[in-house]
Amino acid sequence: MQQAYIKTPLGTALIEGDEYGISKISMLDGDVPVSDAVPEILYPAARELTEYFEGRRRNFTFTMNPHGTDFQKKVWQALLQIPFGSTTSYQELSIKLGDVKAIRAVASANGKNPLWIVVPCHRVIGSDGSLTGYAGGLWRKKWLLEHETPPVQQSLF
């Protein structure tokens, strides 16, 4: 397993993966030094994350290989279907997955998402529109949602 630490506007991100794909992207708190060089196998993910933060990328194309249960992977696949700049609720996600009563299990799988930003768990909000829990901190969730839906410039005339 190879690792790289890259700087983002939200702190340092850790990228982990191997020849089978990227298995983990997570945010680290504190002063973590960035990598001098990104391993070739991780480079596409690092480049695409940088493009995302620069506002030049809306979806990711590098090979992903997250580890989890079959149910978790099903939830993560559903998260990938949430369009850039949109949100959904845990309840809507549970209904989409075929079991409205699975809301807690869906929320738990969402919280165990190993591919920060790429599998957009930040796009899941409460049914009332509130920003609910986020492993990276609610301030990061708010930043990401604002990054994906910048305010529309109003015309003065």
Q: Show which residues are catalytic.
A: 121
Core vs surface per residue 136-155: b (16+ CB within 10 A) or e:
beeebbeebbebbeeeeeee
| Run of H or E residues at 52 | helix 43-53
Residues in the chain: 157
- Token readout for 14 is 């850790």
Token pair listed for 122: 């930040």
In 3D, which of 45, 108, 101, 116 has the Cα closest to residue 75? 108
Three-state DSSP class for residue 116: coil
At residue 145, the 3 state secondary structure works out as: helix
Tokens coding 100: 């409205």
